[in-house]
């Protein structure tokens, strides 16, 4: 499906069901997802949660979070990139050769927005060629605004990570029995700017 076209299956995942439903969406859409959202929304955390759920299955594939910023146009394919990159991440070259040959890698590509603008199209085209094999699975993660400046990603579903709502923030703070949480709760009730900023998970965790 064309990600920037009409949305045919649009619904919101409940906060307490994210881990279970995210991997269900991954399965439903043949293991090819695009995750977008603004900075600090928890996109990378979502990738980590997917990796953990996938490992629990004892599947033959190994989920690996890969920083897209390390991609270069000199690579003739995604597999060639893996063969150079994974040994730098601690994998033996012999193991990487087997993993690449047998398609045992479940790449969770993080940070499309961190790749040089001129190289994003080449990366997504290479990803499309990599996905020519039907059983290949992967996830691409990007900041929302940067993604919409490039070509469509070769995926079957888009997941957008949205800000928290103020009621969600309040419920979380009320569950934490600490003076600091009560002070923060009081502050957001009286400071509109703080109340808006704290909807971003990163800022809430920092606070």
The CA-CA-CA angle for residues 58, 61, 62, to 5°, reads 90
**Would the pLDDT of 133 be above 70?**
yes
pLDDT for 36: 94
Mean pLDDT of 84-90: 95
pLDDT for 148: 87
Query: CA 114, 116, 122, 127: dihedral to nearest 10 degrees?
Result: -10
pLDDT for 164: 85
Mean pLDDT of 95-113: 95
pLDDT for 169: 87
| Mean pLDDT for all residues in the chain | 88
Q: What is the pLDDT of residues 167-207, one digit of tens each?
A: 888 888 888 877 788 888 888 988 899 989 888 888 888 88
Residues 6+ apart with CB under 8 A from 33: 25, 26, 139, 140, 155, 156, 157, 158, 159
Higher-scoring residue by pLDDT: 60, 130: 130
**Would the pLDDT of 155 be above 90?**
yes
**Would the pLDDT of 110 be above 90?**
yes
Band of the pLDDT at 11, cuts 50, 70, 90? low
Q: Say if pTM beats, i.e. exceeds, 0.85.
A: no
Q: Transcribe 44-109 into DSSP letters.
A: HHHHHHHHHHHHTTT-SSEEEEEEGGG--TT-SSHHHHHHHHHHHTT--HHHHHHHHHTT-EEEEE
Mean pLDDT of 38-61: 89
**Would the pLDDT of 6 be above 70?**
no
DSSP structural state of residue 159: E
pLDDT for 10: 60
pLDDT for 203: 86
Q: What is the pLDDT of residues 59-78, one digit of tens each?
A: 788 999 999 999 999 999 99
pLDDT for 43: 92
Q: Could you give the CA distance from residue 151 to residue 165 in angstroms, rounded to a whole number?
A: 31
pLDDT for 123: 95
Percent share of the chain, pLDDT over 70: 92
């Amino acid at each position: 499906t064309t990600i920037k076209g009409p949305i045919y299956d649009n619904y919101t995942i409940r906060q307490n069901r994210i881990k279970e439903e995210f991997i269900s969406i991954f399965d439903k859409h043949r293991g090819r997802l695009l995750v977008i959202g603004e900075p600090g929304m928890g996109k990378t955390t979502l990738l980590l949660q997917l990796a953990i759920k996938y490992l629990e299955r004892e599947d033959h594939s190994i989920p690996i979070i890969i920083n897209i910023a390390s991609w270069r146009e000199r690579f003739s394919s995604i597999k060639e990139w893996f063969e150079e990159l994974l040994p730098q991440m601690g994998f033996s070259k012999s193991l990487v050769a087997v993993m690449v040959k047998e398609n045992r890698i479940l790449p969770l590509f993080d940070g499309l927005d961190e790749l040089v603008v001129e190289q994003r199209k080449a990366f997504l085209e290479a990803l499309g060629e990599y996905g020519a094999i039907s059983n290949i699975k992967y996830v691409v993660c990007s900041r929302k605004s940067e993604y919409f400046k490039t070509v469509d990603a070769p995926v079957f579903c888009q997941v957008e990570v949205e800000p928290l709502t103020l009621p969600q923030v309040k419920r979380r703070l009320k569950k934490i029995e600490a003076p600091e949480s009560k002070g923060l709760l009081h502050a957001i009730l009286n400071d509109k700017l703080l109340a808006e900023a704290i909807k971003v998970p990163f800022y809430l965790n920092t606070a």
